[in-house]
Amino acid sequence: MKPVTVRTLLKMKADGERIAMITAYDYPTAALLDEAGIHVLLVGDSLGMVVQGHATTVPVTLDDVVYHASLVSRAAKRALVVADLPFLTAHLSQDEVLRAAGRLLQEGGAQAVKMEGGKELAPLVTALVTAGIPVMAHIGLLPQSVHALGGFAVQGRTLEAAERMREDALALEAAGAFAVVIEMVPAEIAAWISGQLRIPTIGIGAGPGCDGQVLVFHDMMGLTSGYIPKHNKPYANLGQVVTEAAKAYLADVAAGTFPGEAQTTHLKPEERAHLEAHLRLQRTEP
Ligand code: KIV
């Protein structure tokens, strides 16, 4: 199968084919998702919440995302790898943003970056694209602004908010973004915006009218404890699988039934005969 590029995603939208994106933060998970045919792997700063144990994405650093992107990009043979510019990065000087995004591509191995924000970021998007760095925009709920917003709430419920969001999306498209994530927006508004863009929209909590969908790996696979957002669909319960396996191992170790013969290496008879002459060996065979 051909690798997914930003052009593939534009063509998918033109052909009415939906895009599937999942977050990934490590090599084995990324390899499984890539083999499953997922189009885009997002090294999201959600890693702060689902991997690092923080309450928000704010503490995640550029070094963190570079590191996780390097693990994911090593595994991705076909999927497009997109890495998040973490908190504040998109609001530094243009030079600093270019350098930060450059690190995500050069050291992290990502093929594109994602940036949270509206039309105020348009000049930056153009600067990045001009430098050869594809940009995925992100509008609606901006988790990096959680403290300014006062929580993780649905956005775009009023006429003004919906109009502003549409203007943001159009400005980011005109600036050169190749896709736009729409997070936690009523389905009607997200579909209305999607219908006006040439570039694909990728929704999360934004209804089925977007051109693609994204879910956070740990949420969809049942690895997150505590609050699970309404838009999540549990496709697996890996949390339960891991807990049951750990308990079975604990019981085996306590009972002395692990390791069994299948997991054990013994001395060959001639080795044993030789060593027994020098050592007081115990019998370990059943
Ligand atoms: O960081 C992330 O995982 C994201 C997705 C929720 C879109 O931004």
Residue 42: helix, strand or coil by DSSP?
strand
Least confident of 137-141, 146-150, 232-236: 146-150
Least confident of 32-41, 142-151, 186-195: 142-151
Closest residue by Cα to atom 1, ligand 1, is: 44
Question: Which of 21, 40, 42, 62 maximizes ligand 1 atoms within 8 Å of its Cβ, making it the mutation to test the pocket?
Answer: 42
Q: What is the pLDDT of residues 6-19, one digit of tens each?
A: 999 999 999 999 99
Which domains, and CATH codes, for the chain? 6-236 (3.20.20.60), 241-284 (no CATH)
Instruction: Summarize the confidence of residues 95-101 as an average pLDDT.
Output: 98
Q: In angstroms, what is the span from residue 101 Cα to ligand 1's centroid?
A: 17
Phi (first) and psi of residue 41, to 5 degrees: -105, 120
CA distance 49 to 38: 22
181 touches ligand 1 (CB under 6 Å): yes
Using the predicted structure, report yes or no on whether residue 228 has a pLDDT greater than 90.
no
Residues classed as catalytic: 183
Amino acid code (one letter) for 96: E
The per-residue pLDDT for 42 is 98
The per-residue pLDDT for 151 is 85
Question: What is the separation, in whole angstroms, between the first and last Cα of the chain?
Answer: 50
* Six token digits for residue 263: 């997991």
CA distance 30 to 48: 17
Q: Smallest Cα–Cα separation from 204: which of 129, 134, 114, 112?
A: 114
Q: Smallest Cα–Cα separation from 216: which of 150, 152, 171?
A: 152
Q: Which helix (H) or strand (E) holds 47?
A: helix 47-50
Q: In angstroms, what is the span from residue 96 Cα to ligand 1's centroid?
A: 22
Q: Which residues contact 267 (CB under 8 A, 6 or more apart)?
A: 275, 281
DSSP result, 200-260: PEEEESS-TTSSEEEE-HHHHTT---S---TT------HHHHHHHHHHHHHHHHHHT-SS-
Q: In angstroms, what is the span from residue 283 Cα to ligand 1's centroid?
A: 55
Q: Please, which pLDDT band fits residue 286 given cuts at 50, 70 and 90?
A: low
Q: Please, which pLDDT band fits residue 225 given cuts at 50, 70 and 90?
A: confident
Q: Please, which pLDDT band fits residue 191 given cuts at 50, 70 and 90?
A: very high
The per-residue pLDDT for 227 is 79
Specify the pTM. 0.95
DSSP result, 1-29: -PPP-HHHHHHHHHTTPPEEEEE--SHHH
Q: What is the pLDDT of residues 117-141, one digit of tens each?
A: 999 999 999 999 999 999 999 999 9
44 touches ligand 1 (CB under 6 Å): yes
The per-residue pLDDT for 237 is 96
CA separation (Å) from 92 to 1, 64, 121, 251, 260? 39, 18, 11, 53, 58
